[in-house]
Structure 1
């Protein structure tokens, strides 16, 4: 059995390494706008650029993270992508950062002029995540300073000192707003934003081990353990008021499985062995909860609204990518073979139903193969990261 597992894992590692090459090649070839030294933020299924499309901080940050992470993964093979990371970095600091009122815009127009100037913490978290990754690559103080500047405005305006956690969104001048891009029904706090602040602060802490950031990372982990993870079902609860009262009954399987490994990564980054041992069984339970969304073909459904009974059976690209990592992580924790099988099955489904062998990249969904390949949300970070994570876990943490 052990030899069979090793053989499967070796093949898995080889295949995701090749797929990482394919993803990076696609984004370098089809999104880099050499004439204007920027990136296209909308490309259709046939790899045709949609002109005059707005540009988003989330996609811009994810492009920066991807090329920086590729370089950090293999500095020799992927040195060619460091200049593209530099372009993405310059775009982020020149166009997306609000130089007058601080923080980052949600979107700018095709010329880089502010469009949606609301301050969404989701976008801020990805800017911190990307800048931290780029700092790992170039070790330039100015890059770290940009990350810290965004982190500091998040702490100044968004951190809820009374109830802990982070308020989701503000107007450009940091006043209360109803423009809540990640929310449903006016929820002031969301799981999704907290998940990506956790992810961003973890990455920042890896390069800047400062006491205040450490404290906030502990707070974030506690937010998940005390408020966001349902203690009975082990699913994530998605939307909350300021005092952490849940306002929805939706199970999001992709977020469940994504959180199951990001939460453990955060605890490990803190170097707190007791905390790591505390969260491991919780992460395993979350992976089991996420598995309720699995189909027999290895695919994962999107979500279930337990209040209405409505089920979203969409087989989204990002959900499959996170399932690859999350179930592999659960296998590393438990050595229960069914978790490894679930990770492999997700990859098999992805190869057969999501990877576009003709035009490159992944379809936005196995249910929708006519959707755009690049949008403000359709990005290179979930699938490139899945390839990097799976490869590294097989090679270094097996």
Structure 2
């Protein structure tokens, strides 16, 4: 049977879903620039202020929409971009504040790798889309990232500074490094500087080494010497950014990123690790507790810890299955892809209020204990693009150059 990614009707379905998602975010721009947190109906929750990660993801998502010809997307991307060049930007000390009130008063003035990686991604997409100020933002963001977050000796990124870039937190994390890899690949695509790809590969090699030492479950948390802290947040296992244990969705996300790194550099080095990460995440995460869906986290033996279903995990699982099928042509990846999109359509897609439910309980009913509202279109929108995009270049340059929809195994090589 022809894989879904090659079926005209499935590709049309992905396009319709992408358009539906982008329509949900039409009011996301905050009054003073940047992107608001959206509630379950797509209404801006202005009392939550403006956060750099949501703002940067909005620039990226709607920048892609603009390059794909979706009317209104450029306006939204420009409005979000104004937050990165305005109220979120720290003109005194450099970099970007994590979170501000609607009037620009800092709520969280720390300088985080996670947030800054998304600024690099947003700036890369804005530059590809030809948005005014995009190139200047990219120049600034890449310079700040290399100076403040990239640790050349470790071949990894540090995690967080204080506002003045004086005190460096002792915590080291893989989540920020994961999104740094995504940003590095995008920056390399847009600038033509292949050193970004090489940095991404250095990060990937360490992540793969540490995952292999733990049966392909990825240690997320480390001390300043990069020693794993496997018990961190055991008492707060559902932390939205630093959960205890192994995060199933990150196994899938890293698997996909490994393939993008290989494709960018023209190698096969990371393919075995990508397979192993995918297999472990599928084995530990998919329908392991009596109902369909992916558990959020497991312990180091693979037993579920947080059993709620997060929308981004399913999105990354489907994307990883698609990229592995493109890379290998193996049927079991296509079968997993079809199964998981069925699950997304049946449980996560909110046809009444728009977008996707961000969190389901173990019985697949919507809950909001970790993710109230629907602040994030990024994972869902990308899951509709990655199955029909090349493995390299990344989404921004692929959208700019008309490569979306022409995905083949050769296109990513």
CA shift, 1:159, in A, is: 2.5
Write the mapping of 1:18-57 to structure 2, written as runs, cut at 5 A.
18-28=16-26, 30-33=27-30, 36=31, 38=33, 41-57=36-52
Residues 39, 374 of structure 2: 8 Å contact kept:
no
Residues 15, 384 of structure 2: 8 Å contact kept:
yes
Within 1, Cα distance between the matches of 2:129 and 2:42?
Answer: 29
Among 228, 247, 256, the residue aligned to 1:246: 228
Within 1, Cα distance between the matches of 2:149 and 2:373?
Answer: 23
CA shift, 1:48, in A, is: 4.4
Structure having the larger proportion of residues in helix: 1
Residues 358, 373 of structure 2: 8 Å contact kept:
no
For the pair 1:91 / 2:83, whether they are aligned, the reply is yes
CA shift, 1:301, in A, is: 1.3
Write the mapping of 1:109-128 to structure 2, written as runs, cut at 5 A.
109-128=101-120
Q: In angstroms, what is the RMSD of aligned CA positions?
A: 2.7
Residues 314, 365 of structure 1: 8 Å contact kept:
yes
Within 2, Cα distance between the matches of 1:282 and 1:210?
Answer: 25
Residues 43, 375 of structure 1: 8 Å contact kept:
no
Within 1, Cα distance between the matches of 2:44 and 2:215?
Answer: 44
Deviation per CA, 1:129-179, whole angstroms, max 9, x where unpaired? 011011000065x4223223222222222233433311100100112255x
Within 2, Cα distance between the matches of 1:168 and 1:301?
Answer: 26
Deviation per CA, 1:298-334, whole angstroms, max 9, x where unpaired? 5211110227955211111111111110011122233
Write the mapping of 1:1-398 to structure 2, written as runs, cut at 5 A.
1=1, 4-5=2-3, 9-28=7-26, 30-33=27-30, 36=31, 38=33, 41-72=36-67, 74-75=68-69, 78-138=70-130, 142-177=133-168, 188-210=171-193, 212-227=195-210, 229-231=211-213, 233-248=215-230, 250-269=245-264, 272-273=265-266, 276-292=267-283, 293-295=285-287, 299-306=293-300, 311-367=305-361, 369-371=366-368, 378-392=375-389, 395-398=405-408
Deviation per CA, 1:90-141, whole angstroms, max 9, x where unpaired? 121101111111111010101223221100110000010011011000065x
Q: Which segments of 5 or more consecutive residues in structure 2 lack a partner in the other structure?
A: 232-244, 391-403, 409-413
SS in 2 for 1:130: helix
Distance 1:209 1:298, change over 3 A: farther
Distance 1:7 1:136, change over 3 A: closer
CA shift, 1:195, in A, is: 0.4
Distance 1:89 1:43, change over 3 A: closer
Residues 59, 376 of structure 1: 8 Å contact kept:
no
Give the TM-score, by structure 2 length.
Answer: 0.83
Within 1, Cα distance between the matches of 2:302 and 2:324?
Answer: 30
Distance 1:51 1:199, change over 3 A: closer
Distance 1:7 1:391, change over 3 A: closer
- Count of aligned residue pairs for this structure pair: 376
Within 2, Cα distance between the matches of 1:172 and 1:209?
Answer: 31
Within 1, Cα distance between the matches of 2:124 and 2:366?
Answer: 34
Deviation per CA, 1:170-211, whole angstroms, max 9, x where unpaired? 100112255xxxxxxxx6211101100000011010011236
Residues 298, 346 of structure 1: 8 Å contact kept:
no
Deviation per CA, 1:320-370, whole angstroms, max 9, x where unpaired? 111110011122233222211111111111111111111111111122525
Give the TM-score, by structure 1 length.
Answer: 0.86
Residues 58, 376 of structure 1: 8 Å contact kept:
no
Deviation per CA, 1:2-54, whole angstroms, max 9, x where unpaired? xx4369733322211110000000101x4245xx3646623332444434222
- Corresponding position of 2:399: none
Deviation per CA, 1:50-91, whole angstroms, max 9, x where unpaired? 34222100000011110001222x23xx14311211111112
Within 2, Cα distance between the matches of 1:102 and 1:253?
Answer: 34
